[in-house]
Amino acid sequence: MNKQASFLCDAVGTTVTVYIRGEIDHHTAVSIRNGIDGVLFEKRPEKLILDLSGVSFMDSSGLGLIMGRLSVMKSLGGEMTLQQPSRETRTMLQLAGMERLLSIVYTDEIHEKQQIKAKKAYIPPKAESVPCRQASREKSKTGSGKRRTGAPKTTA
């Protein structure tokens, strides 16, 4: 039911790209936030790209998550971009006027599909990638095993 969220971080040079999959709500946002911040404070990148192409649901908790990461990046003296927001996230981003706070890279339909394909082909991560732990639960030992939608897997 509560399709859990997962994410994959990819660090190249001074840029960290985070691909979020699944549903972003108050429940899943906590672990996504902790996971991303762990990488940000470790790598201290100049740029964070948040890829939302695989997000199938997002409510206002997603806005909080995005704005929170924006302020983390600002505190690190870096910048942040949203990449390819899925249809499911676009209304929410527009409603919040997010484009006034950071740049959003929208691409056309065909391009978007190609990108998603390329991204799927690209997973599992390369050596320099940071495989992030699965973002669905804080207590990963208790029962998350069977529901695991682990980061290396692709979403439908």
Ligand X SMILES: Nc1ncnc2c1ncn2[C@@H]1O[C@H](COP(=O)(O)OP(=O)(O)OP(=O)(O)O)[C@@H](O)[C@H]1O
Site residues for ligand X per CB under 6 A: 60-61, 64
- How big is the CA angle at 115 (ends 123 and 55), to the nearest 5 degrees? 75
Residue 38 found at the interface with other proteins (CB under 8 A): no
Q: Any idea what DSSP says for residue 152?
A: T
Among other proteins, ligand X, none, the one that 27 touches (CB under a kind-dependent 5 to 8 A) is other proteins
Q: Which one, 42 or 59, has the nearer CB to ligand X?
A: 59
Least Cβ distance, residue 7 to ligand X (angstroms): 20
Least Cβ distance, residue 64 to ligand X (angstroms): 5
Q: Which one, 14 or 60, has the nearer CB to ligand X?
A: 60
Among other proteins, ligand X, none, the one that 113 touches (CB under a kind-dependent 5 to 8 A) is none
| Beta strand pairing call for 15-24 and 47-58 | parallel
| Beta strand pairing call for 103-105 and 79-83 | parallel
Residue 59 found at the interface with other proteins (CB under 8 A): yes
Amino acid at 39: V
Least Cβ distance, residue 59 to ligand X (angstroms): 8
| DSSP of 61-130 | HHHHHHHHHHHHHHHTT-EEEEE---HHHHHHHHHTTGGGTSEEE---HHHHHHHHHHHHHHPSP-TTSB
Q: Which one, 9 or 29, has the nearer CB to other proteins?
A: 29
Q: Which one, 60 or 91, has the nearer CB to ligand X?
A: 60
Least Cβ distance, residue 9 to other proteins (angstroms): 19
Amino acid at 74: K
